[in-house]
C-alpha cells in the first residue's frame, strides 16, 4: 500500500486554535516549507511526500539522498491528479488536527471516508490537552519511589497566584503549545507582563497548567506507536536537548549507548519499569482513541539528596523529533552522533 506523508509541524498550534481555517505563524510555515522532505526518512520506495515546494524538497533532501528511499514529492495543488492513479493508499501526517484534515480534504488527496472523522480529531485534541497527562503522571509517581512530579490545571489568575505563593518557583504552560512556546518560568510573584501572559492563556484556552520548577539535568522521551485498537508498541529511547523549552537536537546512537549515558543519573532497570507501566497505561487510556506515533517526554531532575525521574512531562499524540531521530539513525546506520534542526531564515537538518 502506498502511503502519502505530510510534515505539519504547526500541529500543536493548530490544536490550540481548534479550527479548520487555522493559519500558522511564520515560524511554523517556515519549518514546514524547508523541512517538508523529512518524512522521506520513514517512508518507503514508491511513497508520496506532500511538500510546499517540490524544488526546495529535492534541494534540502539532496545531502541525505544516499540513505533515502525513492519517493515522489508533490504539492497539495498538484496532488489530486496523482491521487487518482493510486486508489489504494493511506495518509500519514505529523499530527492530526482540524486544519490538516481540511487541507487534505479540500485538495482532494483523500476522500472524507479515508480520513479521521471530526469525532476522532476532537478526541485527539482533547487527549493532547496537558491536563490529560495529570492522572498519568500521578499514577507513575505513586508507583515508583525514584520518580518525582506534580501538575495542576488552574483556571483563574487568583489560582495561579496562590500556587506560586505555595511553591515559589513554578513553570506554567499553555494547555496546547509546542517547542517552548507558551511556557514560562516564574519566581515568587507575577509582574505585570507575566500577569498579562497568564491572563491571555486562560482567556484563549480556558486554563493554564502549572507545576514546580525543578532543577533539570537531562531531557529524554520514550517513543511509542498506537494501533487504535488498544495496542501500543515501544519504538525507542530519545535523548534530546532544549533551549528555553524549545527543541534543539537529538542524540543518534544505539539504545544501549543512550541507556549507558542515562545510567549516570537513573539506572536502566528503572527506565524499563516505567516503560512497561506506560505501555499498560497508554493501552488503557489512549490507544483505543488514537492511531499513530506518540511520545512521552520526561526529565531527570536534581534534588538535595539524589537524582529523580519526572516520568511524564507531557504526552505528544503525534510524531516527535524523537521519532525522526530514531528513523534517521536507522537509515544512516548510526553514522552520525547528533541530529539538529537549525532555525533561521531557512530551517535545515544538520547531522554530525
> What tens digit of pLDDT does each residue of 117-170 get?
999 999 999 999 999 999 999 999 999 999 999 999 999 999 999 999 999 999
Q: What is the pLDDT of residue 317?
A: 96
What's the average model confidence in pLDDT over 242-266?
90
Q: Please write the tens of the pLDDT for every residue from 176-221.
A: 986 667 899 999 999 999 999 999 999 999 999 999 999 999 999 9
Q: Please write the tens of the pLDDT for every residue from 56-82.
A: 999 999 999 999 999 999 999 887 655
Q: What is the pLDDT of residue 246?
A: 74
CA distance 250 to 245: 14
Q: Please write the tens of the pLDDT for every residue from 13-27.
A: 999 999 999 999 998
Query: Do 298 and 242 form a contact (C-beta atoms < 8 A)?
Result: no
Q: What is the pLDDT of residue 186?
A: 96
pTM: 0.95
SS3 of residue 335 by DSSP? coil
Instruction: Report whether pLDDT(1) > 80.
Output: no
Q: How confident is the model at residue 345 (pLDDT cuts 50, 70, 90)?
A: confident
Q: What is the pLDDT of residue 266?
A: 97
Q: Please write the tens of the pLDDT for every residue from 299-330.
A: 999 999 899 999 999 999 999 999 999 999 99
Neighbours of 117 (CB within 10 A): 11
Q: For residue 329, what is its C-alpha cell? A: 539513525
Query: Do 22 and 9 form a contact (C-beta atoms < 8 A)?
Result: no
Closest listed residue to residue 200, CA positions, set 160, 152, 247, 162 = 160
Label residues 14-53 b or e (16+ Cβ within 10 Å = b).
Answer: bbbbeebebebeebbebbbbbbbbbbbbbbeeebbbbbbe
**C-alpha 345 chain-centroid distance:** 23
Q: What is the pLDDT of residue 241?
A: 87
Label residues 84-96 b or e (16+ Cβ within 10 Å = b).
Answer: eeeeebebbbbbb
Closest listed residue to residue 96, CA positions, set 327, 322, 323, 317 = 317
Lookup result for grid cell 513554578 = 170
Q: How confident is the model at residue 113 (pLDDT cuts 50, 70, 90)?
A: confident
Sequence-ordered alpha helix ranges (H) in 18-172: 26-34, 54-61, 79-84, 98-107, 118-128, 134-143, 157-167
Q: Please write the tens of the pLDDT for every residue from 164-188.
A: 999 999 999 999 986 667 899 999 9
Q: How confident is the model at residue 250 (pLDDT cuts 50, 70, 90)?
A: very high
Q: Please write the tens of the pLDDT for every residue from 30-53.
A: 999 999 999 999 999 999 999 999
Q: For residue 173, what is its C-alpha cell? A: 504552560
Q: What is the pLDDT of residue 86?
A: 53
Query: Do 339 and 254 form a contact (C-beta atoms < 8 A)?
Result: no
Lookup result for grid cell 533539570 = 216
Q: What is the pLDDT of residue 82?
A: 59
CA distance 277 to 104: 36
Closest listed residue to residue 180, CA positions, set 297, 84, 331 = 297
Q: What is the pLDDT of residue 108?
A: 81
Sheet with 246-251, edge to edge strand ranges: 307-316, 291-302, 215-227, 232-243, 246-251, 338-342, 348-351
Residue 304, C-beta contacts closer than 8 angstroms, at least 6 positions apart: none
Q: What is the pLDDT of residue 81?
A: 59
Query: Do 347 and 30 form a contact (C-beta atoms < 8 A)?
Result: yes
What's the average model confidence in pLDDT over 234-263?
91
Amino acid at each position: 500500500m502506498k502511503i502519502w506523508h505530510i510534515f505539519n509541524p504547526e500541529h500543536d498550534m493548530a490544536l490550540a486554535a481548534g479550527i479548520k481555517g487555522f493559519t500558522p505563524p511564520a515560524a511554523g510555515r517556515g519549518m514546514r516549507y524547508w523541512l517538508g522532505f523529512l518524512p522521506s526518512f520513514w517512508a518507503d520506495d514508491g511513497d508520496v511526500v506532500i511538500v510546499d515546494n517540490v524544488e526546495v524538497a529535492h534541494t534540502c533532501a539532496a545531502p541525505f539522498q544516499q540513505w533515502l528511499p525513492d519517493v515522489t514529492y508533490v504539492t497539495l495543488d498538484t496532488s489530486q491528479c496523482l491521487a487518482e492513479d493510486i486508489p489504494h493508499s493511506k495518509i500519514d501526517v505529523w499530527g492530526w488536527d482540524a486544519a490538516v484534515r481540511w487541507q487534505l480534504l479540500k485538495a482532494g488527496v483523500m476522500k472524507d471516508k479515508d480520513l479521521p472523522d471530526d469525532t476522532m480529531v476532537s478526541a485527539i485534541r482533547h487527549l493532547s490537552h496537558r491536563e490529560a497527562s495529570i492522572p498519568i503522571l500521578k499514577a507513575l509517581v505513586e508507583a515508583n519511589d525514584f520518580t518525582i512530579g506534580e501538575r495542576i490545571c488552574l483556571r483563574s489568575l487568583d489560582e495561579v497566584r496562590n500556587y506560586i505563593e505555595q511553591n515559589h518557583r513554578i513553570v506554567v504552560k499553555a494547555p496546547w503549545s509546542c517547542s517552548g512556546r507558551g511556557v514560562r518560568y516564574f519566581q515568587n510573584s507575577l509582574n505585570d507582563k507575566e500577569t498579562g501572559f497568564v491572563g491571555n492563556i486562560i482567556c484563549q484556552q480556558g486554563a493554564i497548567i502549572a507545576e514546580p520548577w525543578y532543577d533539570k539535568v537531562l531531557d529524554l522521551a520514550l517513543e511509542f506507536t498506537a494501533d487504535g485498537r488498544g495496542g501500543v508498541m515501544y519504538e525507542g529511547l530519545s535523548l534530546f536537548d532544549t533551549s528555553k523549552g524549545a527543541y534543539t537536537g537529538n542524540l543518534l546512537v544505539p539504545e544501549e549507548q543512550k541507556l549507558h549515558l542515562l545510567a549516570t543519573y537513573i539506572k536502566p532497570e528503572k527506565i524499563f519499569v516505567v516503560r512497561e507501566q506506560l505501555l499498560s497505561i497508554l493501552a488503557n487510556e489512549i490507544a483505543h482513541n488514537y492511531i499513530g506515533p506518540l511520545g512521552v517526554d520526561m526529565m531527570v531532575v536534581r534534588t538535595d539528596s539524589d537524582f529523580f525521574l519526572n516520568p511524564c512531562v507531557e504526552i505528544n499524540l503525534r510524531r516527535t523529533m524523537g521519532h525522526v531521530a530514531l528513523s534517521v539513525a536507522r537509515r544512516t546506520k548510526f553514522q552520525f552522533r547528533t541530529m539538529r534542526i537549525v532555525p533561521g531564515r531557512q530551517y535545515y537538518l544538520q547531522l554530525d
